[in-house]
Amino acid sequence: MPAGDYRAAKKNDVIAALAPYGFEASLVDDVISVPPNTRRRTSLKVKKQGGKAEIGFHARQSHSIVDMWECRVLAPSLVTLVQRLREMMTALLREGEAAELHLTQSDTGPDLAIRWSRKPGAPQTAEIARWAAKLKIARITSNGDVLFETAQPQIRFGNARVKLPPETFLQPTREGEDILQQKVVEIFKGAKSVADLFSGCGTFALPLAEQARVHAVELDAPMLDTLAAAARATQGLKPLTTEKRDLFKRPLTAAELNRFDAVLMDPPRAGALAQARELAQSKVRRIAYVSCDTATFARDARLLVDGGYHIGRVLPVDQFLWSSHIELVAAFTRG
Whole domain around residue 14: which residue ranges?
3-36+170-333
Contact between residue 168 and residue 187 where contact means Cβ atoms under 8 Å apart: no
232 and 306 inside one domain: yes
Residue 327 has phi, psi (to 5 degrees) of -95, 145
The answer to whether residue 193 is domain-embedded is: yes
Tell me which of 160, 237, 292, 330 is the catalytic residue: 292
Instruction: Write down the pLDDT at residue 220.
Output: 96
Contact between residue 56 and residue 66 where contact means Cβ atoms under 8 Å apart: yes
224 and 140 inside one domain: no
**147: three-class secondary structure by DSSP:** strand
Instruction: Write down the pLDDT at residue 44.
Output: 97
23 and 45 inside one domain: no
46 and 32 inside one domain: no
> For the residues 56-81, what does the mean pLDDT come to?
94
CB-based burial of residue 81 (10 Å sphere; 0-12 exposed, 13-18 middle, 19+ buried)? Answer: buried
CB-based burial of residue 232 (10 Å sphere; 0-12 exposed, 13-18 middle, 19+ buried)? Answer: exposed
Contact between residue 104 and residue 140 where contact means Cβ atoms under 8 Å apart: no
Q: CA 77, CA 71: separation in Å to the nearest integer?
A: 11
pLDDT tens per residue across span 225-282: 999 999 999 999 999 999 999 999 999 999 999 999 999 999 999 999 999 999 999 9
What CATH number corresponds to the domain at position 83?
2.40.50.1070
193 and 324 inside one domain: yes
Instruction: Write down the pLDDT at residue 335.
Output: 80
Under the banding of pLDDT at 50, 70 and 90, the label for residue 63 is confident
- Going by DSSP bridges, is the β-strand pair 327-333/286-291 parallel, antiparallel, or unpaired? antiparallel
Whether residue 292 lies in the annotated active site:
yes
Position 95, amino acid: E
> For the residues 302-330, what does the mean pLDDT come to?
97
Going by the DSSP 8-state scheme, the letter that residue 15 receives in this structure is: H
Contact between residue 40 and residue 173 where contact means Cβ atoms under 8 Å apart: yes
109 and 201 inside one domain: no
130 and 228 inside one domain: no
Number of domains observed in the structure of the chain: 2
Half-sphere exposure of 31 (CA within 13 A, CB side): 24
Residue where a domain stops, chosen among 154, 178, 196: 154
324 and 263 inside one domain: yes
pTM (2 d.p.): 0.94
SS (H, E, C) 25-65: HHHECCCEECCCCCECEEEEEEEEECCEEEEEEECCCCCCE
Residue where a domain stops, chosen among 129, 154, 179: 154
Q: CA 59, CA 78: separation in Å to the nearest integer?
A: 21
pLDDT over 90 (residue 164): yes
Cβ-based neighbours of 190, under 8 Å, separated by 6 or more = none
191 and 122 inside one domain: no
Instruction: Write down the pLDDT at residue 160.
Output: 98
